[in-house]
């Protein structure tokens, strides 16, 4: 059995937390969006059998220090630079990227603009094309909404959202684990900055650049996702002949419903 461990690294003065597994094979960066590295935990051990998965927490998310203090610092290009600096700090010269939610936009940006570094691109219910932002996220573009939102407010909305992200009902312990980071005001501000910066131009503008590459691509999709609907994944793969779409049981966080299927699909793709 492969152990999944939580480790830390200092990146430009910020302590960054990440999940890691495995000792051999290619490095794979697993990127979160409006959640945190916990979404990747169910597939880490499986991936660790064939590669070295690293699921980082962005500043102000999960168990990383720091803060995304403004929407300007939380745009997709800005977050992509943070991810790249994180990889450099780990001494990783090349890596595959796998993105969930807005992490999918970060992954696509890296694949488009870091051609010498990114070897493969996979998305697991990630944002694509003009699929985002969804209304519940877009409302935070209003500065007044951000100013009036308390820790308790965000915890309540995130708990409600979590109830719509999985087919199976998460236990109270699982819900508490997912929600725990947002009991901190700094992380609430970071989440709102990411939400306020959400803009689909970052995933529409990269299409031509991605088309110009022969980059291997895989999309794994929970078919009952009401936030990132399956039809967007189907549209995406029609634009990229090399892209494959694997449908699995699940909603927006399908790793909680189909960890074996997703782990197997990603493992095969990342080592193929």
Q: Which pLDDT belongs to residue 1?
A: 79
The predicted-structure confidence for 88-140, as pLDDT tens digits, reads as follows: 999 999 999 999 999 999 999 999 999 999 999 999 999 999 999 999 999 99
Mean pLDDT of all residues belonging to the chain = 98
- pLDDT reading at 260 higher than 90: yes
| The pair of three-digit structure tokens given for residue 55, joined into one six-digit string | 């699921």
- The domain of 162 spans 4-271
Quick one: average pLDDT of 238-242?
96
Question: 201 Cβ partners below 8 Å, 6+ apart?
Answer: none
pLDDT of residue 242: 96
Residues 6+ apart with CB under 8 A from 190: 58, 59, 60, 61, 67, 68, 69, 74
Which pLDDT band, with edges at 50, 70 and 90, does 4 fall under? very high
192-217 tens-digit pLDDT: 999 999 999 999 999 999 999 999 99
pTM of the model: 0.98
pLDDT of residue 272: 84
Q: Report the number of distinct structural domains present in the chain.
A: 1
CATH number of the domain that 63 lies in?
3.40.50.1820
Q: What is the pLDDT of residue 104?
A: 99
Q: Decide the pairing of beta strands 217-222 and 243-248.
A: parallel
- The mean pLDDT of 164-179, rounded to a whole number, is 98
In this predicted structure, what is the pLDDT of residue 123?
A: 99
Strand pairing of 4-11 and 217-222?
unpaired
Q: What is the pLDDT of residues 40-54, one digit of tens each?
A: 999 999 999 999 999
Instruction: Average the pLDDT over 155-171 and give the result.
Output: 97
> To the nearest whole percent, how much of the chain has pLDDT over 90?
99
Alpha-carbon dihedral sign for residues 154, 157, 159, 161: negative
């Amino acid at each position: 059995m492969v152990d999944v461990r939580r480790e830390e690294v200092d990146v430009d003065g910020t302590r960054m937390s990440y999940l890691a597994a495995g000792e051999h094979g290619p490095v794979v960066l697993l990127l979160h969006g409006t959640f945190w590295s916990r979404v990747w935990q169910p597939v880490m051990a499986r991936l660790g059998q064939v590669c070295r998965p690293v699921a980082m927490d962005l500043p102000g998310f999960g168990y990383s220090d720091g803060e995304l203090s403004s929407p300007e610092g939380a745009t997709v290009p800005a977050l992509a630079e943070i991810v790249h600096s994180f990889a450099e700090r780990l001494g990783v010269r090349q890596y595959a990227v796998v993105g969930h939610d807005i992490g999918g936009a970060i992954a696509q940006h890296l694949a488009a603009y870091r051609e010498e570094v990114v070897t493969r691109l996979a998305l697991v219910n990630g944002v694509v094309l003009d699929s985002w932002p969804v209304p519940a996220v877009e409302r935070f573009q209003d500065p007044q909404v951000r100013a009036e939102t308390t820790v308790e407010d965000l915890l309540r909305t995130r708990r409600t959202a979590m109830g719509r992200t999985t087919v199976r009902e998460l236990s109270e312990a699982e819900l508490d684990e997912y929600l725990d980071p947002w009991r901190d005001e700094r992380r609430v501000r970071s989440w709102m900055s990411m939400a306020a910066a959400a803009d689909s131009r970052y995933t529409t503008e990269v299409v031509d650049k991605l088309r110009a590459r022969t980059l291997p691509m895989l999309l794994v999709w929970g078919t009952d996702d009401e936030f990132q609907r399956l039809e967007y994944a189907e549209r995406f793969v029609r634009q990229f002949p090399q892209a494959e779409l694997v449908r699995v049981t699940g909603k927006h966080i399908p790793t909680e419903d189909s960890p074996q299927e997703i782990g197997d699909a990603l493992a095969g793709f990342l080592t193929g």
